[in-house]
Amino acid sequence: MQHVANQDFIKSSSKVIPAWRQDGFKSKFENEEIKLLYSQYFFKQKMEMVVQLLIVLAINTFILIILYFAHEKSWHNLLILVLVFFFVCIVLLIQLCNTRTYSMRNLTIVSVGIWLLQVLLLFMLVVITPPQNRTPSDHTALVVFITFVTYTMLPLSLLPTIILGIVIAFSHALIFCLMAKTGTENISRQIISNILVYTCSNLCGLYHHHLSEIAHRRTFLETRGYVKNQLELGKQKEQQESLLRSVLPDYIAKEMLKDILTNNEQPHKRMNLQFHRIYIKKHDAVSIIFADIVGFTKMASTCTAQELVKILNTLFGRFDELAARTKCMRIKILGDCYYCVSGLPDPSPDHAICTVLMAFDMITCIKEVRDNTRVNINMRVGINTGTVLCGVLGLRKWQYDVWSDSVTIANHMESGGVSGRVHISAATKSYLPSDILLEPGNGEDRDKYLREQNITTFLVVNPEDSADQAAALMNYRQQIANERMQQAAEESSLKREDPDSHSYTNGNIKNKSNGKNKINSGRNSTNSDIDDEMTVHQFVGKWESVTPFAAAPQDSSSSDKPAGGQTSMVMLQVGLFPMHASIAGKKGRNKVLNQQLGLEQEVNEHMRKTIEDGRSEKLWQKSEHIHRLTLRFKSEVMERDFQRLPDCMFKYYLACAFLVFLFIGSIQLCILPKRIITAVSLMSALVLLSIAVLIAMASPDFCDCLKHLSNVVAENYRVRIVMAVFVTLVVYTVAFIQLTYCQHDKGPDAHRNQRNPDENECHFPMYFFISGTLAMLCSAVFLKLDHIIKDVLMLIAVTVYITLMHVPYTGIFDAYDEYLLYPNQSIPTNNTDVLNKRKILKLKEFGTVYLLMLFIALIVLGYEVERTARMDFMQRRHAAQKKDQMEDFKTNNGILLRNLLPGHVAEHFMGCGKIGLYHDEYANVGVMFASIPNFFAEFYAETDVNNNGIECMRVLNEIIADFDELLEKYKFNCIEKIKTIGATYMVAAGLTPKAVYDGADTDLEVHLCNLCEFAFAMQEAIKRFNKHSFNNFQLRMGINHGPLVAGVIGATKPQYDIWGNTVNVASRMESTGKVGRIQITEESGLVIEPHGFRLEEPHFVQVKGKGQMRARFLLDRK
């Protein structure tokens, strides 16, 4: 996987990002803010190089001071002082560049100051040179140096750099032509040669500046793209984790993510497991609440589907808020039944009183609805305390649940309770404070199970009936509120210490007042406006709207919040808007645009902080993966990946080197004697270099062989090295090869006879080291060549050049110096050592200084260019790895999310840009309930042998996992698992989007037939399980079809569910059916019977709320 990721990174690094365009001499970004960011990035990149250049200039100035001091003359004193001043200015500039308060504007001023100091040095050398010693070509090599470093090492934009390069070239040519007194016989040849030198140095500098600009901009934009992707993926990851933690407790979510990663990396381990992984833990001392809304079914019959979902979401969302305030956690919503626990996932010593407070808050909330709508509804609450097993079952559509005998008792405490009262067991009473007033509950008289289990029950005295009870409950409520505020303060303090951390809590409630006060205030504020005819939907609509996932972490910077309600986490973190007609259109598009702009601003701010903090520099300085001298990565893999980066600009490097060769050849043809050997050597080099350039620049119009060679050159690092070294050596050789053909024993008389030169007489030896300086620029144009290789090549060239000037061909340069002293006469015979006695700086000494100056500058430049390239590579690689990690997190979280919600529902919240309530109405959906009645009645037991029931739940997990695996078959792709309720498995057919099916397969008949086939498959699956486990589990199943509404409700732990008469009847078909049989309504039977299903004759069943209904038993399919 890492190798594939590296391949993708290498390929992506070779792409050009079209976020900027070239307009004349100016490279323009499409966004001004990005342009400013790039300027800051460029400033940081060039800052170090400016300091290095100042050091190089200081060293060279010091060398000149030493040399001039050695040639002691009266007029040299002024020169030494000026040079010392120049040296001090450079040191001061170095100090200025190292100050922390340095700005981009100051750096530009310093850059111009550096250029002016170099120009001052140049013209100072002109002024102090004796008039009789001045020639038009003096210090041309220094002009080459100044021009090239201006382009390459100063942080100036392209147009000012071009202007400065032209100004110094024109000024040097003009001044030396006007002031030259010697060697003017061939001034036109020297002027033409100088123009060629100026043009070559400017073009090389321009080329280097432009390609460096492309590399910098491309790296900057690639890095910004990685940062943007990383932030987007980070937001999505945070969003998914928030959604995940809204549905599952954190410890279970972490275990599931860990197992998913293990299964992905080591799938063979999963294949070798005998049992599926079970995520169930045992918890002692947990209080369980079951709360049922009495009269809800009758009330719901008067509501539309949308109104029903809104009522359920708002009502249960209010309960979720109350649960968060009272340290409770909702487990599930079963129709109109709400049940929660206290003491999970972390133990709590006050779990019992917390559940009592929660119960009274729910009763008060329902009473508020009843008093204001005149609808006869009430709340019946049952509480029990004991040991529970909590976790998730199966492989799909996980829902956090609790199981145990204590949970069963709590359920019967509710069914055996009294409307408007809190019904508790003796176990709960033992955990309550002694000042809580109770009265006998007599639950055994109203519930058979309680009577059989000999459960003693109590009713908690309502606070309205006792002032002492009200005071006691208020006291405990305040204690809990204080604990929550203290906990919130501690979490806030931890978050301030670690600003990059994220804290997830259940129930992010803004209102810090207790639940009762809020409910009372809501009632009092609405009583004056209440109409006797107000419906429950209208009244609940006045409450603060609670959207699913609203309790997830929110972005405080967002200003787009739903009016009058809590903000959805999805909207805040991703900036997506609902497509409902009420807010669609221009407002929604503006919101998306604002969110996109917000993301761009966040990316820019992140880049700005990264640049200002110098994180890439810190990464470089602290990195243990790089050799500081060679700049090679210590990791062979990283070094190989860096070398394998394609270099699409290499052909342009060769083209520039070829251009340098043409200029050097033109200069030599112009200034040197016309000889056959010169033409032969130049033509040979021309042919060789032309072949190299042709291979590198082969276009698609060329033959396949050349195109193949061109691709090999661009993609193979070693081939590029060989070609670069070959081309560079050819240019180096051409620069000085002509010197070996010059006669060096004729003395200064040869220079005095420039009008009638001999073919072997070289009258302008300074152009040899000028050509050498141009040849050295050839190394600099190969930006991606290893700086060690470039340094070695330049060192060889400089060594050879200096050796040739000082040893075998020193006579040519000494003769020219003598000619400058006595241009019109010979040296007196009695004073042959007059040149040394005059103590002027010799031409070969100037040449040596200028070659060394450029050599040192190019070493620094090459080092900085490669260092920057490797730093950018590391930064982009690091960002790409982060992106890959984020994508892995996103994928794994996505797997979990799609096992929590149906795929199309998860997309609704995660990828489709919608927020708020989710609901859909369906005209015909098949619903099935399948239970294992004898599991809890006969098999389940909480003993030490089965680990207090955990091993029993492991068996149930295997059964449900087998059912879940059936859903992976293609023929059952229209069937959606809704949930498991204890040992009951609930599915529906026809909820999945039509795009999943094949045309006609979306018909009701196909859905219902597939649902019946799935029922048969479940029966076969449990038979196989019984055979291998020696058990006798049997299914009791019920099927119905018809209209229903599906939706997601709840502020915390949002739950996807379906509601409607169709669901209720399907549940009754199961509960009134027979073990081992499939009971189906007569209407559904009529739909499937024509498709080959055999059914028994109709019979009547008693259905609560429906009376007698006709049903049939499904036998098989022909």
Q: What is the C-alpha separation between 114 and 93, in angstroms, rounded? A: 8
> Helices (H) and strands (E) in the chain — how many of each?
38, 19
User: Which is catalytic among the residues 839, 1104, 1110, 1117?
Assistant: 1104
Distance from C-alpha of 239 to C-alpha of 241, rounded to nearest angstrom: 5
Residue type, 950: I
Asked if residue 345 has a cis previous peptide bond (ω within 30° of 0), the answer is yes
Cα→Cα distances 212→27, 556, 647, 728, Å: 12, 41, 13, 20
Between CA 93 and CA 113 the distance in angstroms is 9
Question: 């200003």: which residue's tokens?
Answer: 559
Alpha-helix runs per DSSP H in 614-635: 615-622
Check the CA dihedral 298-303-307-309 and report its sign. positive
Residue 1111: CB partners within 8 Å, gap ≥ 6?
1069, 1072, 1079, 1080, 1081, 1082, 1098, 1099, 1100, 1101
Active site residue 325: no
Give the C-alpha separation, 583 to 561, whole Å: 13
Cβ burial, residue 184 (10 Å; 0-12/13-18/19+) = middle
Q: Are 971 and 1013 in contact (CB under 8 A)?
A: yes
Q: What is d(CA 747, CA 813) in angstroms, rounded to the nearest whole number?
A: 9
251 membership: H or E segment, kind and range: helix 250-265
Q: CA 649 from chain center: how many Å?
A: 29
Q: What is the largest CA-CA distance in the chain?
A: 143
Q: What is the Cα–Cα distance from 636 to 625, expressed in whole angstroms?
A: 10
CA 512 to chain centre: 35
Distance CA(872)–CA(874), nearest Å, equals 5
To the query of whether residue 1068 is one of the catalytic residues in this protein, the response is yes
Return all residues near 104 (Cβ < 8 A) that are at least 6 apart. Answer: 39, 40, 43
Query: Token pair for residue 110?
Result: 């310093």
The dihedral over CA atoms of 1065, 1067, 1069, 1070, expressed in degrees to the nearest 10, equals 180
Dihedrals φ, ψ of 561, to 5°?
A: -120, 150
Note whether 362 and 294 are within 8 A (CB): no
Dist. CA 748–CA 763, nearest whole Å? 9
Measured torsion, CA atoms of residues 653, 658, 662, 667, in degrees rounded to the nearest 10: 60
Between the two ends of the chain, the Cα-to-Cα distance in Å is 49
Count CB neighbours of 750 within 10 A. Answer: 22
Task: State how beta strands 378-392 and 422-425 pair.
Answer: parallel
Sign of CA dihedral 876, 558, 546, 410: positive
C-alpha to C-alpha distances, 230 to 254, 571, 641, 892, nearest whole angstrom: 22, 19, 22, 16
What is each CA distance from 734 to 579, 794, 1031, in whole angstroms? 72, 14, 94
DSSP 473-496: HHHHHHHHHHHHHHHHHHHHHHHH
Q: Which residues of 255-273 are buried (b: 16+ CB within 10 A; e: fewer)?
A: bbbeebeebeeeeeeeeee
Element (H, E) at 361: helix 351-373
Positions marked active-site:
1068, 1104
